[in-house]
Structure formats: C-alpha cells, structure tokens
Structure 1
Amino acid sequence: MTATVATVAYLGLEARPVEVQVQLSAGLPRFTIVGLPDKAVAESRERVHAALASIGLALPPKRITVNLSPADLPKEGSHFDLPIALCLLAAIGAADAEALSHYVIVGELKLDGRIASSPGVLLAAIQASSEDKGLICPAEQGAEAAWAGNVEVIAAPDLLALLSHLKGSSVLLPPQPGEAVEHASGPDLKQVKGQEVAKRALEIAAAGGHNLLMSGPPGAGKSLLAACLPGILPPLQSAEALEVSMVASVAGELEGGRMTRRRPFRAPHHSASMPALVGGGLRVRPGEISLAHLGVLFLDELPEFQRGVLDSLRQPLETGNVSVARANTHVTFPARVQLVAAMNPCRCGHLGDPALACSRAPRCAADYQARVSGPLLDRIDLHVDVQGVSAADLTLPPPAEGSAEVAGRVAAARQLQADRYNGSGVRTNAEADGEVLERFATPDEPGRKLLADAAAAMRLSARGFHRVLRVARTVADLAESQSVGRIHVAEALSYRRQVPRN
C-alpha cells in the first residue's frame, strides 16, 4: 500500500516542493523516515504515532517507510508532521488520497491531535498558489495563508476536524486575511530639544533611505533620535509589506497572520552574535539585518559590537541581501536595510570636555573609534556629531515642528523618487547606482567642481564619492529641485568625513 501528498521545504524565502511518499509493506513493524530529515523531522514518527492514537487510530503492524522526495534536498522543521500523518491515513484508507492530491500540506502535530503553527506558512501558500493547489495548514495561521491571494485554504484546529471536513461530515470556514495593524507610534521629534543638525540629518536619512551614524556624549539624545525615525518613515507599499511578511513568516514572527504597513525597526543588543545579526545557526534562519528588511537596523553603542560581527555587515549593506553558506545548503535572505548607528566619541564618552574627559584623551578616543573598521564607516552616508544638551536647552518649550511635519516632507521626497525610478527596480536614492545615478544625480557645473575638489581634499573613495551624490540628490528632493546644485552638494559633503582605508 502506497500514498503520496505534497508539502514544501524552506530554503531562505523559497518554498521548494516536496513529495511525501508512504509505503506499507510486510515485515517486522518499523517506522522509518528517509530523505535527509533533520532531528525535528526524524522525531515526527513519535508525534504522528501519538496524534493518531489520540483520535482512535492505530498504525498497522507493518513496515512503514516514509520518503521525502527529492531525497538530496535537506528537510528541516516540524511542519512535515501533518503531511506525513495524512499520507499514512491515505495509505491505510482512512483518508481520500485523491482529495489530498489537490493540496499542499504543512503543520506540526501535538500529541493530542491538535495542529500547531509552524514557520513559513505564507511561503507555502504562495507555492501552493503557483501550483494551482490549495493549502492545508494550522488554524492559527489561516489568516496568514489567506494573504497569498487566490488559493483555497483549509485551516484546521486539529486532526479530527480536518478529517471530518475532508469527508464532508463538517465544514471548516475559509479564513480571512489578517487585518493590517499599526503599532503604537514611538517618540515624537517634538520631544527632542535642540539638536537641529542631527534632526536635519535624520530627515535626509529618512527621505533617501541613507545610512546614518550619530556620535556624541552620553545623554545627548542619540537613541531618542533613532527611536523617532519610524515615525517619519512612509508606510510600506503592498508589495513591500508582503516581502517583509515573508521574512517574518519564515522566522516564525508573523503573529496571528497580521500584516503591518509600518516599517520594521530592529535594535539588537551589542552582545549579538554573527548568526543572530546576519543569519545562520543550526537551522538557518534570517538574522536581524533580514528581519529589518525595508526598515531600520539600529545599532546602539556601535564600537561595543564584536568587530567581526560588524564587518559581516559590509556585503549586505552594499548588495541588499545576505548569503549564508553551509556544507549542505546555501541560503540567501533579503537585507535592504537602512543602518542607523550611535556611538560615544570615546570609552568615557566625554571627549572634548576637560572637566569630564579621562586622562588618556585623545588616545582613548583613537583606540575606541578604531573598533569600527574604515570600510564599514565608508558605507555610512551621513556622519553627525551630536553635541551634549545644556540645561538651558532643556528648559525651552517643545519645538513647533514635530514628526508629523517632517513625515510630510519625507513622504513627498519618497514620492518623487518613486516616480523618478519607476520601472528601474530602484526604490530610493540610496539604492541608485550606475547609469541611474549618473542620469539623475549628476550635479550642475558649480556642483561638479565643488565635488571634484572636495573628493581630492577629503580623499574620498569611489564608494564615498557616489554616496555623496546620492545624499545630494535627496537634499535636492527635499528642496523640490529637479536638478542637483552646488548648495545640495555642499550640504551632502558636510555630513561626510574622511575615513581610514583598511
């Protein structure tokens, strides 16, 4: 007796089709799973056995062989439980094999027969839609699967309810897509006293998607400024929200199938390991830089991160994706992020203040700042010195302009970029490169002369040169200027500092 059902294996943000094959043959009772299963898949036989027993079904005393085809594709995760169980039931005649052939099946089984959620259901739904099949998944993730569009979704709470639905004795209602929710907004820029230069840099960074580094003494407001950034960024477009949700789905962080239009904001602690930041681990999963895709990755206390961890960000910041290579698999995750970092000028944090600086200044500052490599600093478009806030500044009334006003200008600048780069695959000025950058960001003659002179004086690298052009294009967009002029180049250069070449 044999039976087959369809499921998927996840490889990055791709769901690869997998066929579950079950054969019952004569011989000593044995339950074997083959096809490169990991530990979680190998343990499926115990969960499947207990789940079937909980609904009054016993496995026949035969040799049971489960093959996950293709056999050379690694299989990871507990979502193979449900397809294995249903394939077994089809093999013994307790389920309709013909009906199951029209579905892709994913889900983890609990010992009492309930179907538990598992990461990646949205990816499985998209794959099922591409195969013109329906999807059988856990009830908790039905709303998530419904976002895939024109696909029949059966979201079952337990194995017994699913079998009853397949036999027609009861009906499971089709799930509706989870409503897009907006989280409570963070701090408002009205809470920031003074720091006009830093606020201007934050606005430019938001408008063009540029990387930003803020350096200043403790308590100057660097973390507060970073926390204000999500409040001035435009919401995700529909396609962008689906991209972000796919990453969250494969990481198991899409709660209740609810999607949001708010851009991700991730702020890992400086003790984060390399796999935590860029992805990887025993079971390869996206890291913080991928979970912040199309949003903000905030690294506070930048020099306190391990240098190797920081340098692992170099390639993702340049290419917009991160590749995790293992002996048996190679996985690529998207990582188009806006890096915002904050740091003290030295370990004591009070460089330049004779009353508070340590006795080792300025050597203390040189050693501390050297923890961040020059190539990484070269990938940061905007460098801002955030000065300490005086008591007189703190007593001033809140500024008249807050996040709402800045967000309006940012949205207008982003719309100009969307119209300008329509059809080119470029979303923001920070992504413009090659012919696109040359066509839209080349300054006028006075601007070109200023940029050429500054590039020689500041010893800008080719990367730094192009990043100045991108920032100048954003400054021009905020000024609603069609062309990039000398004044826009001058402001872009003011945020650039010479970095050492390692």
Structure 2
Amino acid sequence: MLVKTRTATLQGISARPVTVETKISRGIQCTLVGLPDNAVKESLKRVDSALAESGFRMPGKKILINLSPAGLPKEGTAFDLAMAVGIMAASEQIPHEKLEGFLMLGELSLDGSLLPVRGVLSAAVLAKEMGCKGLWVPRANAREAALVDGIEVYGLDHLGQVVTILDGTQEAGTHTIGTPNMGTLGPQVDDLDFSEVMGQESCKRAMEIAAAGGHNILLIGPPGAGKTMMAQRLPTILPPLAASEALETTLIHSLAQNHLADSLVSARPFRSPHHTISDVALVGGGAPPQPGEISLAHNGVLFLDEFPEFKRTTLEVLRQPLEEGCVTISRAKASVRYPSRFMLVASMNPCPCGFLDHPTLPCSCSPVEVQKYRNKISGPLLDRIDLHVPVSPPSYEDLTAPTPSEDSRTIRGRVLRARKIQASRFHNSPGCFTNAQMSSRMVRECCALDSHAQWILKTAMERHGLSARAYTRILKVARTIADLENSPKIGVNHLAEAIRFRGLDRPSFGSGQSSGFASYPLRKVGGGR
C-alpha cells in the first residue's frame, strides 16, 4: 500500500514542501531514499522504537520511503513524525484518508514523545501558502507556529496523540499574529534615551539623518567621546517594526535558535559582535548553513565597534550585503540566501593612540602610523558608508548642563515624518522603503539639483576625488535631509550638509591637520525643526 504524508525542509529562511511516500510490500528490507543526510537516515531507528512504545508496530514487511522531490537535499530530524505516520497509515494502523491536507514536523524520541525542531515558523508560513488545513508540530513549537495567522496548529506531546487528531477529539490552537507576548531583541526605548547624551549635537543630528533615511554611518572620535553610547541609542529613534518585518525577523532568529519560540520580535535587532569574529560568524555559513550576524541584524542595526580592529577579510564580506540587502551562501550541495537589510553603524578612533586632532591631548602617532591605521578599512567599504561623522569629546559645560538634551521620543517623531514621506514616494517601488535603498534611476528622478547645487557637488568631487558611489550616496543623504525639512526639492544647504559628512574621503584625514569638515557651509544644527 502506498501512502503520502507532507512535511517540509529548510532552504535559507524559507521552507520547501517535502512529500514522504511510504510503500509497504512483501519482504523484510527497510529502505530510505531521496537525498537524506545522516540525521534523516537514523530516523528509522527512532521511528521503530517510538512506534513500539506508543502501542503501534513496525510492519515486518518491505518498507520503501521516498522523500520527494528526490533532488532536494534533506537535513535534520524534523522528518521523524511524517515518516512514522506514513508507516502507520501504510500498514493500516490508522486511516490514511484523513491525513490529506496536514503538514507535520517533529523529532521522535525512543519513547514516542516529540521533541522540538528548528524552522517551525517557516513551515507554518509554507502551510498557509499551500492552503493546508492543519499543522502537526511538537507542543514546544506550537506557539511559534501559531504566530502565523490563518493556520490551525496541533501541538503534540506524544506520537499516540495522532489518533486523537484524526478522531477529531483534539482541538487545534490558533492565534492572531502579534497577539502573543512580544519578545524583544536589542535596547528598549525605556532603557536607553538620547536625552542621556550630553552635548554632541552635530553627532546626534547625523544619527537622526541616518535613522530617517536608513543610511550607514561611521563615528570617528577619541576614546570616551560617546560613540558607543550614541550607537546603542539609535534603535530608540527608528520606526517600529511592521507586522511583516516582525515576522521576517522572527523567522531568522527562530532558525538560528536565538529567539523565544512563543513570541514575535517587536524591537529592531541590535547586534554588536566583537572584533575577533570570524568571516563565517559574521556573514553566515557552516554545515548546515546558519545565518550570521548580518542576517540576525536584518531590519535592525549592526554595530561594529573598533572598526579597524576587525580583520580586513572579515570586513570585506560586508560589501555585497550592504549593496543588495541579502547574502548568498554557496556550498557543494546547495546555495541558500539569507536577508541582510541592516543599518551599519561603525565606530573608530582617528589614529592608533586615539587622540589625533584632540582639543587638549597630544597625539603620539606618526603620519605613517595614522595612514596605516586608516588603511585597515578599504576604500570600497568606506564608499558604502553614507555618513562619516567626527565625534569630539564633550566639554565640562556640556556634561553639567542643567537642561536635559533632546529625548528619543522627539527625535523619533521627526524620523517618522521623514519615513512617511519616503513611504509615499516609494509606494510603487517594491523592495524600496528608504532613501538609502534607491536605485540609480530613482536617484535621478528624486534627487534633481539646481545649477548652484550642481556646481557645489562638482567642486567637491574634483577637490576630493570622490567616486561615483560617493556621488550617489551624497545625493541620497541630501534627499533625506530635505525630507526632514519637509522640502520637496534638495536645496544648497541640504547638499552642503551631506557633503560635510564625507570626511574620510578627504586627503587631509589622518595627516594630523584639520580634517576639513568645515570646508562647506553647514546649516545651523537644529535649524528648521
């Protein structure tokens, strides 16, 4: 007798449908085909013991199990439940007619109990897309699967409960997306606030621009100036996650076994890996492939403190994800793609000792040492960072000011208004949500300059040898500054401020001289708000 049951396998953060075809005929051989890995091949031993402990039996006949499509590699232990149910139905121990429309995942222990598996949330999304009438998962994964609205989820403790589902005596548990307890990743608005940052108005302005347009930002300043403090507070001024973003972010963290299985991620992720991180840990990989830090920061912030201390090869793997918003990991058997649309926030000292251009402390580094330190970061990578922001140490007057600084709620209000303008601008452009994501064609359409602004930008490019990518980044930042001012056109002051934030493109950086950040007129910080 031939019986088909449905399950799923992971490919990236998505689930692919797999049909478990079980045929019982004369003989005594038990065969499993369909590109299973070792964990899948061992399933037969677990299934044999689980059936016996659950009051069922392994038929003493020839059993052939095919995992279809046969050309798709199968990994992990999530196929146990579908294989056990297929054997039970093919040997007529349970009615096979009632299995139609169910998707099932779960690992079996030797006593028949079900153990949690990875990727259940992805399988729930697949089950909804396929129009399945129910999803069978271990009870430990039930709330995770129930985060997907519109699919009936059956949480099982033991293999024997399959009978209660088919008899209709066990009810499904359903939830609406967003209603469970909302999990959190990263700093919370109540814990951190920009009002705690004293002084640093120019830097806070740059952080506001970065948040409004989704731009990458590099903070350059001496130790103790507040670079890390400001980076940690960036999520407090970012827009809240939309329902689709929350689900997508949760999918990644669920896959990485990094997130509570009974809640959606409600806060934008904030990832801050140490500078000793390996290439694979940052970009993803391994066997089987796992998402790396750049994917765990999807829809959030990736903070790289002490930027030049990271291995150069590690930093270079950021180039493609920063441009495309995803990373493809290719292996001999298959390739997987993980989303990685994040805001990069990096910080660095201006020189090895940290005191180049410090207002009071002398720098002990030679020009050669400063240049060698700067060269740890490649030009192509710097090109992909929109804002290069100098951070000066706060003065005593800043630290003792009686009036608190502007809080995150106020700044976030302006960021949300700018994001609303961008949402209206890009409503007919799928995949584009912020100014930083504009294509070249969209930049030409949305970032037109008058003759005076064109002259200023031309002068900047010729004087500092800016690349074509830097040219585009300046226009995108200028567009964001104009949006913050609710200006339909990019003005000269918007463009000048955007050019000002390209400090590392200037030859004088690292020379021990002024870096020339005042080379272009800058509108007064806070003006027009």
Is 1:192 aligned to residue 197 of structure 2? yes
User: Structure 2 matches for 1:27-42, cutoff 5 A?
Assistant: 27-28=27-28, 30-42=29-41
Q: Is residue 2:409 matched to residue 1:404?
A: yes
What amino acid does structure 1 have at the position aligned with 2:196? Answer: Q
Percentage identity across paired residues of the two chains? 46
**Displacement, 1:233?**
0.3
| Partner in structure 2 of residue 62 of structure 1 | 61
Per the TM alignment, residue 68 of structure 1 is displaced from its structure 2 partner at its CA by 1.0
Q: 1:195/1:3 Cα in 2 relative to 1: closer, same or farther (>3 Å)?
A: same
Match of 1:476 among 474, 482, 485: 482
Deviation per CA, 1:280-328, whole angstroms, max 9, x where unpaired?
1111122111121121111111112221111011011011111111111
Residues 180, 260 of structure 1: 8 Å contact kept: no
- CA drift of 1:135 comes to 1.6
Alpha-carbon distance in structure 2 between the residues aligned to 1:299 and 1:53: 53
The one-letter code sitting in structure 2 at the alignment partner of 1:22 is T
Contact 1:135/1:152, CA 8 A, preserved across alignment:
yes
Query: 2:248 is matched with which residue?
Result: 243
Partners of 1:121 and 1:145 within 8 A in 2? yes
Summarize the Cα distance change of 1:289–1:61 in structure 2 as closer, same or farther, 3 Å threshold: same
After TM superposition, the structure 1 = structure 2 runs for residues 212-227 of structure 1, keeping only pairs within 5 Å, are 212-227=217-232
Larger deviation, residues 122-131 vs 356-365: 356-365
Q: Does 1:325 align with 2:330?
A: yes
The one of 256, 281, 288 aligned to 2:286: 281
**What are the superposed Cα offsets for residues 253-285 of structure 1, whole Å, 9 maximum, x if unpaired?**
342331133222111222222221111111112
SS in structure 1 opposite 2:79?
A: helix
1:16 & 1:125 partners in 2: Cα distance?
11
Quick check: 2:25–2:62 contact (8 Å CA) kept in 1? Answer: yes
Residue pair 2:464, 2:506 contacting (<8 A) in 1 also: no
Aligned residue for 1:348? 353
Moved more, 96-105 or 41-50: 41-50
Give 1:16's aligned amino acid: R
Distance 1:42 1:304, change over 3 A: farther
Q: Which residue of 1 aligns with 2:95?
A: 96
Q: More deviation in 70-79 or 467-476?
A: 70-79
> Whole-Å Cα distance in 2 between the matches of residues 215 and 109 of structure 1?
53
Letter in 1 for 2:86: C
Give yes or no for contact 1:118–1:252 (8 Å, CA) kept in 2. no
Deviations 1:445-474 (A, max 9, x none): 322221121122121111110100000011
Following superposition of structure 1 onto structure 2, how do residues 273-422 of structure 1 map, counting pairs within 5 Å? 273-353=278-358, 359-397=364-402, 399-422=404-427
Equivalent position amino acid for 2:44 in 1? R
User: Equivalent residue for 1:438?
Assistant: 444
| Matched AA of 1:141 | N
Change (3 A) 1:246 1:267: same
Deviation at 1:34, TM superposition (A): 2.1
What are the superposed Cα offsets for residues 329-381 of structure 1, whole Å, 9 maximum, x if unpaired?
11111111111111122333233459866744333322222111111011000
Greater displacement, 11-20 / 471-480: 11-20
State the distance in 1 between where 2:256 and 2:326 align.
Answer: 16
- Give me the whole-angstrom Cα distance separating, in 2, the residues matched to 1:139 and 1:14: 21
Relative distance call for 1:464 and 1:167 in structure 2 (3 A) is: same
Alpha-carbon separation, structure 1, partners of 2:45 and 2:351: 56
Task: Compute the displacement of 1:391 (Å).
Answer: 4.1
- Aligned partners of 1:496 and 1:453: how far apart in 2? 14
More displaced 10-residue stretch of structure 1: 417-426 or 382-391: 382-391
| Number of equivalent positions | 499
Partner of 2:153: 153
Q: Please give the alpha-carbon distance, in whole angstroms, between the structure 2 residues aligned to 1:349 and 1:398.
A: 30
The change in CA–CA distance for 1:360 and 1:254 in structure 2 (over 3 A counts) is: closer
Q: Distance in 1 between matches of 2:151 and 2:274?
A: 40
What amino acid does structure 2 have at the position aligned with 1:65? L
Structure 1 position 493, deviation (Å): 0.4
CA distance in 2, matches of 1:278, 1:97: 44
1:271 to 270, 273, 276: 276
SS in 1 for 2:285: coil
SS of the aligned residue for 2:290 comes to coil
Partner of 2:180: 179
Q: Distance in 2 between matches of 1:297 and 1:33?
A: 43
Q: Does the Cα contact within 8 Å between 1:374 and 1:500 map onto a contact in 2?
A: no
Aligned twin of 1:4: 4
| Deviation of 1:180 (Å) | 5.8
Question: Any gaps of 5 or more consecutive residues in structure 2?
Answer: 508-529
Maintained 8 Å contact 1:103/1:135:
yes
Which residue of structure 2 aligns with residue 74 of structure 1?
Answer: 73
Structure 1 residue aligned with 2:522: none
Moved more, 74-83 or 93-102: 93-102
Deviates more, 1:317-326 or 1:156-165: 156-165
- Matched AA of 1:119: R
Equivalent residue, structure 1, for 2:142 = 142
Superposed, 1:424-463 pairs within 5 Å as: 424-425=429-430, 426-463=432-469
Residues 50-108 of structure 1, C-alpha deviations (whole Å, 9 max, x = no match): 32233233323334332211111111122112111111211222222222221111122
The RMSD of aligned alpha carbons is 2.2
Q: Distance in 2 between matches of 1:429 and 1:212?
A: 14
- Give the deviation of 1:476 after TM superposition: 0.6
Structure 1 counterpart of 2:434, which letter?
Answer: T
Q: Secondary structure at the match of 1:56?
A: coil
| Bigger mean CA offset, 11-20 vs 472-481 | 11-20
The one-character-per-residue Cα deviations of 1:200-242 (angstroms, maximum 9, x if unpaired) are 1100000000000011122211111011011100101222222
Paired amino acid for 1:127: L
Distance (whole Å) between structure 1 residues aligned to residue 312 and residue 39 of structure 2: 34
Query: Are 2:20 and 1:20 equivalent residues in the alignment?
Result: yes
Distance 2:458 2:286 in 1: 45
* Partner Cα distance (2:450, 2:53) in 1: 76
* Paired amino acid for 2:416: A
Tell whether the 8 Å contact from 1:349 to 1:357 is kept in structure 2 after alignment.
Answer: no
Gaps of 5+ in 1: none
2:199 touches 2:405 (CA, 8 Å); kept in 1?
no
Q: Give secondary structure in 2 for the equivalent of 1:214.
A: strand
Tell which deviates more after alignment, 402-411 or 264-273: 264-273
**What secondary structure sits across from 1:79 in the alignment?**
coil
Q: Name the CA distance, whole Å, in 2 between partners of 1:346 and 1:33.
A: 61
> How far off its partner does 1:8 sit?
1.4
Distance 2:349 2:113 in 1: 52
Distance 1:482 1:334 in 2: 32
Question: SS of the counterpart of 1:324?
Answer: strand
